[in-house]
Amino acid sequence: MEKIQLLIKHAKVFNSYLKKFIDADVSVKDGKFYYIDRKHENLFDAEHTIDADGQYMIPGMVDIHMHIESSMTTPGSFGNCAAKNGVTTVVSEPHEMANVKGVRGILEMISAAKDAPIDIFYGIPSSVPSTSEKLETTGGVIDFEAMKHLLGEKDVVCVGEIMNYREIIQENHLEITKFLDYLRQEHPGYVIEGHCPSLMDLDLAKFLYLGINGDHTEHTLEEVKQRIENGMFFEIQDKMLKPEVLSYICENHLFEYCSFVTDDTMADVLYEQGHLNTVVQKAIEMGFPKEQAIYCATYTPCQRMHFYDRGVIAPGKLADFILLKDPAKLLEPETVFKNGISIYKKEDRQAFPVEPYAFPEDFYHSVSIPEVTLSDFDVKVPVEEGEVTVRAMEVHPDRTQTTEKLVTMQVKEHKICWQKSGCLLAMVLERHGKNGNIGYGFLTGSCQREGTVATTFFHDHHNLFVAGNDPEDMLFAVQRIGELQGGFLTVKDGQILSELALPVCGILSEASIEATGSALKEVRESLIDLGYEHHNPIMSVGTLGLPVSPALKLTDHGLIDVKRGEIVPLVLSCS
Q: DSSP secondary structure string, 201-259?
A: HHHHHHHHHTT--EE-S---HHHHHHHHHTT-EEEE-GGG--HHHHHHHHHTT-GGGEE
Question: Is there a domain that residue 12 lies in?
Answer: no
Please answer whether residues 208 and 230 qualify as being in contact, where contact means their C-beta atoms are separated by less than 8 angstroms.
Answer: yes
Q: Are residues 258 and 386 in the same domain?
A: no
Residues 254 and 370 reside in one and the same domain: no
Does 412 lie in the same domain as 509? yes
Same domain, yes or no: 162 and 250: yes
Enumerate residues 6+ apart whose C-beta is below 8 A from 132: none
Query: Rounded to the nearest 5 degrees, what angle is found at the Cα of 324, between the Cα atoms of 118 and 335?
Result: 40
Phi, psi of 264 (to 5 degrees): -120, 120
Question: Does residue 370 share a domain with residue 305?
Answer: no
Tell me: do 300 and 367 sit in the same domain.
no
Instruction: Mark whether 523 and 374 lie in a shared domain.
Output: yes
In the sheet with 552-555, reading across from the earlier edge strand, the strands are 552-555, 558-561, 566-568
DSSP string, 23-53: EEEEEEETTEEEEEETT----EEEEEEEE-T
Which residues constitute the domain of residue 226? 61-310
Whole-angstrom distance, CA of residue 393 vs CA of residue 560:
10
Do you find a cis peptide bond into 551, omega within 30 degrees of 0?
yes
Domain edge (last residue) among 276, 293, 310: 310
CA–CA distance, 525 with 538 (Å, rounded to integer)? 10
For residue 211, is it left (φ>0), alpha (ψ between -120 and 50) or beta? left
Let me know if residue 43 belongs to a domain: no
Domains of the chain: total: 2
**pLDDT at residue 152, rounded to an integer:** 94
Does a structural domain hold residue 221? yes
- Residue 130 inside a domain? The answer is yes
Give CA torsion, residues 195, 197, 199, 205, to 10 deg.
30
| pLDDT tens digits in sequence order for the chain, 575 residues long | 899 999 999 999 999 999 999 999 999 999 999 999 999 998 999 999 999 999 999 999 999 999 999 999 999 999 999 999 999 999 999 999 999 999 999 999 999 999 899 999 999 999 899 888 999 999 999 999 999 999 999 999 999 999 888 889 998 889 999 999 999 999 999 999 999 988 999 999 999 999 999 999 989 999 999 999 999 999 999 999 999 999 999 999 999 999 999 999 999 999 999 999 999 999 999 999 999 999 999 999 999 999 999 999 999 999 999 999 998 888 889 999 999 999 999 887 655 667 789 999 999 999 999 999 999 999 999 989 999 999 999 999 988 899 999 999 999 999 999 999 999 999 999 999 999 999 999 999 999 999 999 999 999 999 999 999 999 999 999 999 999 999 999 999 999 999 999 999 999 999 989 999 999 999 999 999 999 999 999 999 999 999 988 899 999 999 999 988 899 999 997 77
Q: Is 395 found in the same domain as 287?
A: no
Q: Are residues 303 and 430 in the same domain?
A: no
Closest CA to 14 of 294, 309, 296: 294
DSSP 423: -
CATH number at residue 121: 3.20.20.140
* 334 lies in some domain: no
Give Dmax over CA atoms of the chain in angstroms: 94
Instruction: Identify the pLDDT of residue 349.
Output: 64
**Residue 22: CA atoms inside 13 Å, Cβ hemisphere, count?**
15
Pick from 156, 70, 139: nearest CA to 102: 139
Which helix H or strand E contains 410, and what residues bound it? strand 403-412
User: Does residue 306 sit in the same domain as residue 367?
Assistant: no
Q: Is 343 a member of any domain?
A: no
317 lies in a domain?
no
pLDDT at 356: 84
**For residues 514 and 271, what is the distance between their CA atoms, to the nearest angstrom?**
6
Domain end call among 310, 343, 378: 310
Measured CA distances, 321 to 36, 188, 194, 294 (Å):
13, 32, 29, 12
User: Are residues 227 and 372 both part of a single domain?
Assistant: no
Among the candidates 310, 330, 350, a domain finishes at 310
Gap between the Cα atoms of 398 and 382, Å rounded: 37
Residues facing 168 on adjacent strands: none
- CB contact set of 258 (below 8 Å; sequence gap of 6+): 228, 233, 234, 235, 236, 249, 296, 300
Instruction: State how far the Cα of 435 lies from the Cα of 182, in Å rounded to an integer.
Output: 34
pLDDT of residue 311: 98
Q: Are residues 485 and 387 in the same domain?
A: yes
Which among 340, 336, 264 has a CA at the least distance from the CA of 87?
Answer: 336
Is 449 within a domain? yes
